[in-house]
Amino acid sequence: MYENSPPSTPAVFKAKGAALMAVWLCAVVCIFGFFGSLLIMHGAVLSGVIFIGSAFLFFGATTIAIINNWSDVEIDNKAISRRILGSTWQKIDWENVGLITAFPVSGGYGYSARAFNIFPKNRPRFRVLPSGKMVFNDKLYNAAKMIELLNYYASLYGIDIKISKTIGGELDSATHL
């Protein structure tokens, strides 16, 4: 499909279930805030503040995981990006991509997906993960087209690809994802 020229417009791959996850997180945060407020109103101020503070720290970490897992993936001629609510929060130029890995993951209860890591040659100054890599899975709308684009840009820029067929298995060099 993309043999001679890259797509002319950015391709955005929306995360499945992102809106539901955001609603769930907001509801749970409100419930914990309500119970913490009840503790404060009934005279247990220190307990209420500790409860709300602990809930804030826990849900802050959970929010970071949700943003990482349920962000959209945008691919264009220059870079691959992660976006949430229309704002780009992570971007790696194709010329800076050194390795793409793919491997199966399981979340239990019948959930399985194929995860991807995009490793930059040079780590950015601001990064969520120490390596600066981009992490996402194939639970996106039109994931087959996303994989096709990743293969196209990997061949165009000479990016190494490594895949694993099993969970926790060895990564083997490959020509395509």
The pLDDT assigned to 2 comes to 54
β-bridge partners, 137: 115
pTM: 0.78
| Cβ atoms < 10 Å from Cβ of 98 | 14
Question: Which comes out higher in pLDDT, residue 73 or 107?
Answer: 73
| Cβ atoms < 10 Å from Cβ of 157 | 13
Q: Give 137-157 pLDDT, tens digit per residue.
A: 898 999 999 999 999 999 999
Q: Is the confidence at residue 103, as pLDDT, over 90?
A: yes
Q: Is the confidence at residue 3, as pLDDT, over 60?
A: no
